[in-house]
Amino acid sequence: MSGIQGSAFRVILLAATISTLLAACSYSSDIKNLRKQAEAGNADAQFALGVMYANGQGVRQDYAEAVKWFRKAAEQGESTSRYNLGVSYYTGRGVAQDSAEAARWFRKAADQGNAEAQSALGSMYDDGQGVRQDYAEAAKWYRKAAMQGNKNAQFALGSMYAAGQGVPQDFMQSYLWSSLAASRASGDESRQASDLRDMAAKKLTPEELVEAQRMTREWEKSHQKK
């Protein structure tokens, strides 16, 4: 990854497992009923049960059991389970660590439009983990996730434009994506994105900066949640 990219904005792959906890809890508060549905082949129940085991919610935390249920749902095409299975292989929790297998499952979820998986796959190509390092391919997947509002991908894409890595060097684009990331992040992440945005701004003429700011406003306006 570009040296411009800081550690605070690295893709935290395990975060998706945590973020799916509420979905699991809202699916069913009755673990026995949930398990019955999962065993009957319901992919949503399998996903929810996997999350509960991964987080120790209502059951003893058991990563191997989480992987078991994520795999069942993933094999039925449930995209978040495919992502979480990739996380499991990446971290080696509940299964032997295997970056290539992680990338394989991230790709399956990414192809279905899962933004977290797209960002994670971009990171794999960026770092050459589980796949051959390919900055252009990294930028491709970061862009797909960034367009969905993923702040990690937005910052990564801004970094790539600043460095001219995988994409032509373009400080207006770097300003756009880093500014969007800064508005979605907090703490150290927001400061890092703001620093990148400010660095890009210094590379622009006054006219270019006005245009970059307009592009940012227009992007936010066109991507407002309905």
Instruction: State if pTM tops 0.85.
Output: yes
| Whole-angstrom distance, CA of residue 82 vs CA of residue 183 | 29
Q: So where are the chain's domains? A: 7-222
Q: Provide the pLDDT for residue 145.
A: 97
* Superfamily of the domain at 7-222: Tetratricopeptide repeat domain (1.25.40.10)
Question: 83-120 pLDDT, tens per residue?
Answer: 999 999 999 999 999 999 999 999 999 999 999 999 99
Element (H, E) at 69: helix 63-74
pLDDT tier, 26 (very low <50, low <70, confident <90, very high otherwise): low
Question: 148-186 pLDDT, tens per residue?
Answer: 999 999 999 999 999 999 999 999 999 999 999 999 999
Which of 76, 72, 75, 40 is closest to 53 using CA atoms? 72
